[in-house]
Structure 1
Amino acid sequence: MDPNLECRIHNLLHEIRCENTESYEIYINPNKFTSNGYASEFYRCELTNKDNGEVTHILVKVVPRNLSRCSMVPNFQNEICFYKRVYPELKKFQENKRVSKLFTNLPRFIAGTCTYQKEIILVENLFEAKYRITPRQLKLTPMHMKNIFQTYARFHALSYMYRKEHYKTFKELIKELGDLSEYNPKCTLRGNAFKSALDVLDPENDADIIKVLNKLDLQNIKEEAQREKGNFTCLIHGDSRVGNMLFKKNVDIEEQTIKLIDFQRIAEKSAVVDLSYFFYAEASKEDLDNLDQYLKIYYNYFSNFAEDLGAKAPEDIPPFEALREEWKKCCMPNLILGIFMWPDMLKEKREILGLVESNHITRERGLQLWNEKVTNTWKSDEFRTRVRDVAGHAIQYGILEP
């Protein structure tokens, strides 16, 4: 842990004058945890009021020490801009519309700075409210999938309607956001994964799939990924992996409440980008077969919230078929990543990272172990099944032409 972290938190709270910092004690739990993307570290922090004993639970987000030489300023700048400028405007927009249920599925922002090598964000600690991250190796259930589509439907509809009614103001709000998309088809690991996806298939039984995959132009997919806009253009999360969703089970109903975190890749793109990113990373064969069912759930929640915000159907809300077509047009980069990201689902990645951070092995040895694990995964029956399931779904749904 950075020995100056407590001082940095004190200074930040003092600068925004949100608290009389002299009357507070700060305790930082030294047991950090890392995001699934490994680009941030989190510490649980307690602010105790010396006068009345009241405790405020805070989550502190900082740059990992192994990334301290890299500039994370754009990442933190995006997230702070969203929390400080964009969301407050969207919240006010909802309140003015007097909607029955506000979209508040994100943590309360406290403070933050994107100063180089001092990047830090303070938000409420949702873990104290019994929100939990789903373990990476745990498969999502259909109920998880349904709840995620519902949550993103309301998140997208909010900025979709704001953008429609206040386009110039919307553009002014997001002008400081940078596009931090990390899709890079020339990445060695992903290139090897694509080759391995072809190698594991049976030339006779999988001839149709091999033929389709061989026709893919990864560079063209990258260029198309930069133009992902359509009828459902809005402000997207941009990093909709399950590790950036906190789940809380509701006792009285089956559904779960979801809070979205990590808005470093927030951007103006098609809503399909968010949906297809988590879907193709997590979907089972059953989920792939039921895509239309999930899209209908999304569309109904999107339409209902858009109408609460003043939309008049059908002129303000495209038909469901338009969403299906936009999916086919905009999902391709994330469908490919659904194959590339398969090794990321292995729990060994976090275990190897832990060995490196605790100095039990060198970073070079950790990378070697990880490459060996990934290579073995590409040779596994599970990877072969994954390639067949995703590619077969893409052909059947009309995303890829046979």
Structure 2
Amino acid sequence: MKRLAIGALLLAIALAGLVIFLNLRGESPIREAQALAPPAADSIARGAYLMRAGNCAACHTDRGGAPLAGGRAIDTPFGTVYASNLTPHAAAGLGGWSPDHFWRALHNGRSKDGRLLYPAFPYTHYTMVTRADSDAMFDYLRSVPAVDRANTPHKLRWPYSTQAALGVWRALYFTPGEHVDDGSKPAEWNRGAYLVRGLGHCGACHSSRNALGATSDMMDLSGGVIPMQNWYAPSLSAPSEASVAGWDTAQVVRLLQTGIAPRGTVLGPMADVVKQSTQHLAPADLQAMAVFLKSLPEGTAHEQKSSALEMGPRMAERGAKVYEQHCVQCHGARGEGVPGAYPALAGNRALRLPVTSNLVQVVLGGGFPPATAGNPRPFGMPPYATVLSDADVAAVISHVRHAWGNNAPAVSELDVAQQRSSSTP
């Protein structure tokens, strides 16, 4: 027994050492904060642009709070993470940080004191950010007004609240990386790859996650349900979901810049991305992202785990009636829609997605494209949560999924009821 105990202890020590070693990969010596010269104006401007590209303010600005002062709650399956204060306040923010500290946070997912950061902060993607871009972002953050707002402690369940558990997670699922240009591709493609995979962290939403919140491939863009939000980010590689391989490049640019295009409209979380981030990017960067997204190898559609539901005659009759009462005025009797205002439903691949959560979200909560410079007064859909019953919602969604050649399976009343209850505060 004594030998077994000693063996177990040695094994535990070895595993702990392995975890520590794996978590120190890519680490560089840290220079402590020193008196820094005021950042140059061009570096501040570049950093501000890169922060937009990374959509950093979306998480690090609380609703009604000071810009980048943190405090916003980010719900996860393991508890609540609160975004940190990025302003240069000496005690509450990044005032005591050096450029090395900031680089380590982006590249290695560590705070100034060496603590491991939770991957709600997408360092799993920001690890691709170059050191030059990191330094420019830090210069910008040094220039914003300092806000005395202490960071809110995270509220995570045990053992997810422990550094040990996070260390094991990182050993299993995170390896620091870097962006390396593909010499066989043009510069425009490489720039698009850098923005989509790194700063844009598109895979943070457009990838499926396992029970521990990790993806099998951090660069994967094959679609996934966004945790805690009840929205499905469709596959960017599957033609039946959200691939843009068959689009004109100008259409992809328009979608990212304005939120609407002849073949698609963004709603939900993606509308926030366009509003706060991509509409502000330079046309050359949007063009680069479009070129990269169009080049993605064709993937397969997400598989719906639940069995396909057939629409019976009673549901069909109910769905047609609800559509006539509430939908036909905008979307037309034949689902043709109104160009530039209300999307066509006939032949709309968003209606045929195997995951139907987005449709339920839009009918219950409404949906508007973002207000952008190119589309300042977007047309949208009002919420029907207080107007339609679960049976009505299931019937009308099933109707539009089946009509006009869409031929997709029906949606059950139970699916609607579950999503309505999970979306209720």
Using structure 2 for the length normalisation, give the TM-score.
0.28
Q: Which protein has greater RCO, CA pairs closer than 8 Å, 6+ apart?
A: 1
Structure with greater Cα Rg = 2
Q: Which has more strand, going by share of residues? A: 1
